[in-house]
Amino acid sequence: MKHSLLSRVAERIYWLGRYMERADNTARLINVNTNMLMDLPTPRPLGWRPLIDITGSEALFDSLYKEANERNVCRFLTSDARHPSAITCAISAARENARTVRETMPGPTFEYVNDLHLFARSELRPNLSRGKRGAALEGINSRVQRLEGFLSQNMMHDAQWQLLRLGNRIERADMTTRIIDVRSADLLPPGHDLAPFQEIQWRSVLGSLNARQSYQAAIGAPISRSLVLEFLLREPGLPRSCAYCLTAMRRHIRSLPRHEAPLRACDRTAAFFASVDLGALDRESLHRFLDECQMRLGQLHEAVTETWFRVASG
């Protein structure tokens, strides 16, 4: 029996890829932030607020909580049912997507997603101690990795696979720009001698992306702002760099039918990412640049949606 991928199924697979990546990145982000704060001098009033900015959910957070302290931010990002991008919600959404397309995925896929869901539901409770929270978040990471590993080794590398990966890579590129954006802002109140802590911040950026060893191996130089920016945005060999993600997206898009519009959007986005001299950007212009990057990724997402998920009737 010949197979043709339904637009509705395609869309759900794409979102499955996005939600899995979102849960994974958010978990990693919280753990890296916890570690970084332990290395910074007190007081550190802005310690947890940046995570809210990363996820672009300032308005929602402020409507629900008074204070951006560790407890509130972690609850909001891990298990607050009122926050659609909280880890438990992203995983529920991934599960719902996987459930609606389970017939099209290799047999145990849903079991893995379901296991992830059950784990998140039972382990990510509000008000966890740092130790328990860290272990639970690592548990999320390892389960997402297991799922990804399983899929890459067992799923047919067909159109569904390309869409799963496309969603995954768009989410990842977006998250990488957000992590850089927030970490490039000052975490410390004025008056501190920032120099030694700048390095801690940039090291934590690398840590958020599991890229410390890769940085040392590939760059070999001490950690500096411009080198880290260059590395995370443009290193073709680093799987979490924007350049790597964009190259992969291009490949996925090209393998799908009727890909002209998304391919154009992808090429435009990649050209924009490559268009500026990163070293010359001050903090403000870097922020504007990253903002624009996220907008371009949003346009690419729109092109994908228009082309493959909203097929004209007829």
Partner 1 sequence: MPVNWQQYEAAGLWDELVAPSGRARPGAGPLLRVLSRLTDEELSERAAAAELAIRTMGITFTVYDTGEPGGIDREWPFDIVPRLIRKREWDAIAQGLAQRVRALNAFIDDIYHHQRILRDGVVPAAYIEKSREFRPRCVGIDPPHGVWSHVCGTDLVRDRDGALYVLEDNLRVPSGVSYMLENRAVMKRVFPELFKDYIIHPVDDYPQRLAACLRSLAPEGNDSPQIVVLTPGIYNSAYFEHAYLAQAMGAEVVEGADLRVGADDCVYMKTIAGRVRVDVIYRRIDDLFLDPKAFRPDSVLGVPGLLRAWQAGNVALANAPGCGVADDKVIYTYVPDMVRYYLGEEPLLANVPSYRCVEKADRDYVLDNLDKLVVKPANESGGYGMLIGPQASKRQRNAFARAVRANPRKYMAQPMLSLSTAPTLAGAPGSPDRMQPRHLDLRPFILSGAETHVTMGGLTRVAMKKGSTVVNSSQGGGSKDTWIVDLPG
Among the listed residues 181, 152, 202, 213, the one whose alpha carbon sits nearest the alpha carbon of residue 20? 152
Closest to 118 measured CA to CA, from 147, 142, 91: 91
Coil/strand/helix, residue 1: coil
Contact indicator for 241, 235 with CB cutoff of 8 Å: yes
Among 64, 69, 110, 192, binds partner 1 (CB under 8 A): 110
Stretch that binds partner 1, among 43-51, 76-84, 108-116, 220-228 (CB under 8 A): 108-116
Apex CA 244: angle with CA 243 and CA 247, to 5°? 85
Name the nearest CA neighbour of 262 among 248, 281, 277, 249: 249
Residue 267 is a binding residue for partner 1 (CB under 8 A): no
Minimum CB separation from partner 1 for residue 6, in Å?
5
Q: Of 154-213, which residues contact partner 1 (CB under 8 A)?
A: 159, 163
116-135: which residues touch partner 1 (CB under 8 A)? Answer: 118
Stretch that binds partner 1, among 20-28, 96-104, 143-151, 220-228 (CB under 8 A): 96-104
Angle, alpha carbons 7-244-234 (nearest 5°): 135
In this chain, which stretch among 148-156, 182-190, 244-252, 254-262 interacts with partner 1, using CB under 8 A? 254-262
Stretch that binds partner 1, among 57-65, 103-111, 181-189, 241-249 (CB under 8 A): 103-111
Is residue 144 near partner 1 by the rule CB under 8 A? no
Alpha-carbon gap, residue 313 to 232, rounded angstroms: 42
Retrieve residue 47's tokens. Answer: 């310690």
CA dist., res. 206 & res. 104, Å (int): 36
Site for partner 1 in 2-61 (CB under 8 A): 2-10
Does 257 contact partner 1 by CB under 8 A?
yes
Given candidates 38, 42, 43, 103, which one binds partner 1 under the rule CB under 8 A? 103
User: Rule CB under 8 A: which residues touch partner 1?
Assistant: 1-10, 96, 99-100, 102-104, 110-111, 114-115, 118, 159, 163, 256-258, 308, 311, 313-314
